[in-house]
Chains A and B, each alone.
Chain A
């Protein structure tokens, strides 16, 4: 058994002989096998005892070799159980592989929102698959390309935060960005009509948008008054173009995201709105002043009217009363100098007055009688 396990089965026979020279027996005739495989000279005279030749190896590996009959529990490779009738497994495996391949490539589960295009050998168009389970001939006879169809896709223009300046009808510039929402309306056309449908869509959109904006004035675009009109016009124009190209694309909608004045002149635009605020503020202030004026006038008029009512009832008395009350309150708070006789040159104690003025306490209690 040991000999059979040795892959170099042919050389195994000389094992015992090979050991002897090492133990001291130096009979060259008995031990023909080479002690050193790198020294071929020694035992080459005896063909039976040389190391395994290429022919030996092939012989042993052949159907009659040790591997064939001696697999055993520790055999180096897995072996299929014998097929009844002793036939080969090869055709069975081949048929299985073919069936598996056919099954995998001829059944297609097309998801909702998707459609597939079937072609013969990757060339001639056969039909369009709708969503669900579909059967075709196996690859490479028929090929299927699946694409999302009803799902609405969107393209933002411009794609980053860059400024996109468009000329308006009054030769002003507006910074505008928009969104195109679209889907595939006819998959075969979409696949075969245009070289680059997506690029076409963007270019058509660009041309349509500029044409629509060029019809409007800057203010209409900026305030959004013309926005709905532009969106509708761009959509219609794009669809007309894309239909003319038979692109298989349906434009679902255009949304204008922003319409801003160009950043270089933004300050001037902001100043316009602050001017409006300024104007409103000025008017508000004036209104406040006006209200005050009117209230004052009404108050004064009411006061006068009330007094006048009393005055009409007793003119002379009221008049006197008012006179004395006024003089009283006026004179009680002022410094007084009374000149009694005619023709006397009065001495005006101006210095004293000045002094008293600096002493407010002393100035007040003065009475006409006391002086």
Chain B
């Protein structure tokens, strides 16, 4: 080994330096990124730029080259990116407030323009966020509250998407989709009011159910009474005069036997009961 080193020291060092030098010409562009080669401040060319319908493996990703020191490579995402909006309050055209949470999906389709107009992905995001917010406010503010809850219906989302897309194209980005993730009532009075309404709604329902129960119970009793009356009438109607006598007898027993020995009677001697008592007339 030492001999090799001794003999070819210069050559080995030269080869090493050459390899390092060659490597500095090369860089790898992953499938997920597109590269902008910037020569002394000017975007010179792009590598692996997004084109729809080019299958992976043929897009230009992989090893590429540059001139070291002269050319700087800036990697820019070519995937679908997420623009997540902060929750924002939106006023509907009937003056109701709604807390809206939306997102946009976009893709950088013109990396050179994006580098020139925005710089980096973060800067692009900070540029797009306020646009998304204001476009949402504008578009949703034209609609009544009830339709905001279901903003998916109708043209609202299409309008917002195209409006945002128009603005994003200036930065070399294409907006694929804007969706409202959540449309909520703001904390505080609107939410409280909604809860109160739900509560009273249920209270009403409960009261209705209870009243209906009472009514049905009453009807059941009334029907039974009617049926009982019919049964009585049918039986007693056969001989009202005998019924009168029979019922009177029952009633006497019922009345006088209730409390034992608590009743006193003053009887006239000529009452029917004592007819035999006086001997045969």
Instruction: Tell whether A229 is near chain B: CB-to-CB under 8 Å.
Output: no
Contact in complex: A319, B245 (CB < 8 Å): yes
Contacts of B203 in A (CB 8 A): 268, 271
Residues of B within 8 A of A356 (CB): 261
Q: Is B103 an interface residue (CB 8 A)?
A: yes
Total number of A residues with any Cβ neighbor in B under 8 Å: 104
Q: Which of A2-10, A25-33, A51-59, A194-202 contacts B (4 or more CB under 8 A)?
A: A194-202
Q: Are A214 and B149 in contact (CB under 8 A)?
A: yes
Q: Known contacts being A123-B28, A123-B29, A172-B198, is A296 close to B228, with CB within 8 Å?
A: yes
Interface flag for B30 (CB, 8 Å): yes
Query: Judging by beta carbons under 8 Å apart, are B31 and A191 in contact?
Result: yes
Q: How far is the CA of A302 from the CA of B159 in the complex (A)?
A: 83
Contact A340 B269 (CB under 8 A): yes
**Could you give, for residues 290-311 of chain A, a 1 whenever the CB lies within 8 Å of some chain B CB and a 0 otherwise?**
1101101110111011011001
| Partner among A199, A293, A333, A337 whose Cβ is within 8 Å of the Cβ of B266 | A337
**Binding stretch for chain B, among A16-24, A42-50, A106-114, A278-286:** A278-286
Residue A334 contacts which of B77, B238, B261, B270 (CB distance < 8 angstroms)? B261
Given A171-B194, A271-B202, residue A123 in contact with residue B61 (CB < 8 A)? yes
Q: What is the bound-complex CA distance between A59 and B79, given in angstroms?
A: 64
B-side interface residues, number (CB < 8 Å):
90
Asked whether A120 is an interface residue with its Cβ less than 8 Å from the other chain, the reply is yes
CA distance A289 to B146 in the complex (A): 50
Given contacts A196-B82, A272-B206, A285-B217, contact A334 B198 (CB under 8 A): no
A206: interface (CB < 8 Å) = yes
A92 at the interface (CB under 8 A from B): no
Which residues of A in the span 128-182 have a Cβ within 8 Å of any Cβ on B?
A: 165-167, 169, 171-173
A165: which of B184, B227, B256 is its contact (CB, 8 Å)? B184
User: Do B105 and A245 have beta carbons less than 8 Å apart?
Assistant: yes
Write out the residue numbers on chain B whose beta carbons fall within 8 Å of the beta carbon of A279.
209-210, 212-214, 216
Contact indicator A282/B184 (Cβ below 8 Å):
no
In the complex, chain A residues whose CB is within 8 Å of the CB of B62? 120-121, 123-124
With the chains together, A280 CA to B212 CA distance in Å? 10
Spot the interface stretch: B7-15, B110-118, B174-182. Answer: B174-182
Q: Is the CB of A245 within 8 A of B176?
A: yes
Scan B264-280; emit 1 where CB is below 8 A from any A CB, else 0.
11111110111001000
Task: Judge whether B122 is part of the interface by a CB distance below 8 angstroms.
Answer: no
- Whether A257 is near chain B, meaning CB under 8 Å from some CB there, is no
User: Does B209 contact A276, Cβ atoms closer than 8 Å?
Assistant: yes
Q: Across the interface, do B205 and A123 meet the contact criterion of CB distance under 8 Å?
A: no
B18 at interface by CB-CB < 8 Å: no
- Is the CB–CB distance between B232 and A330 below 8 Å? no
The chain A residue sitting closest to B212, CB to CB, is A279
**Other-chain residue from B28, B105, B245, B268 in contact with A122 (beta carbon distance below 8 A):** B28
* Cβ-defined partner of B261 (8 Å) among A173, A262, A271, A364: A364
Q: Do A357 and B261 have beta carbons less than 8 Å apart?
A: yes
Q: Which residue of A lies closest to B221 (CB)?
A: A286
What's the Cα separation between A245 and B176 when bound, in Å?
Answer: 8
Residues of B within 8 A of A199 (CB): 82
Inter-chain contact A334/B210, CB cutoff 8 Å: no
* A245 to B63 Cα, complex, angstroms: 27
Contact stretch, chosen from B36-44, B165-173, B246-254: B246-254
For B205-227 the 0/1 string (1 means CB < 8 A from A) is 11101101110111011011101
Q: Are A326 and B249 in contact (CB under 8 A)?
A: yes
Q: CA separation between A210 and B98, bound complex, in Å?
A: 14
- B235 and A304 contact, CB distance less than 8 A: yes
Kindly state whether residue B150 has any CB partner on chain A within 8 Å.
yes
A360 at the binding interface (Cβ < 8 Å): yes
> Mind listing 25 A-B residue pairs with CB under 8 Å?
A119-B31, A120-B62, A123-B29, A123-B61, A167-B185, A191-B32, A195-B77, A207-B152, A211-B150, A214-B183, A241-B177, A271-B203, A271-B206, A278-B213, A279-B210, A279-B213, A280-B213, A289-B221, A300-B231, A308-B238, A315-B242, A322-B246, A334-B264, A334-B265, A353-B264
Interface residues of B (CB under 8 A from A): 1, 28-32, 56-57, 59, 61-63, 77, 79-82, 84, 103, 105, 146, 149-150, 152, 176-177, 179-185, 194-195, 198-199, 201-203, 205-207, 209-210, 212-214, 216-218, 220-221, 223-225, 227-229, 231-232, 234-236, 238-239, 242-243, 245-246, 249, 252-253, 256-257, 260-270, 272-274, 277
Query: Given A272-B206, A286-B220, list of 7 further CB < 8 A pairs?
Result: A121-B63, A125-B56, A193-B79, A195-B81, A207-B180, A283-B216, A337-B264
Q: Which chain A residues have a beta carbon within 8 Å of chain B's beta carbons?
A: 88, 90, 119-127, 165-167, 169, 171-173, 188, 191-196, 199-200, 203-204, 206-207, 210-211, 214-215, 218, 241, 244-245, 247, 261-262, 264-265, 268-269, 271-272, 274-276, 278-283, 285-287, 289-291, 293-294, 296-298, 300-302, 304-305, 307-308, 311, 315, 319, 322-323, 326-327, 329-331, 333-342, 346, 348, 353, 356-357, 360, 363-364, 368
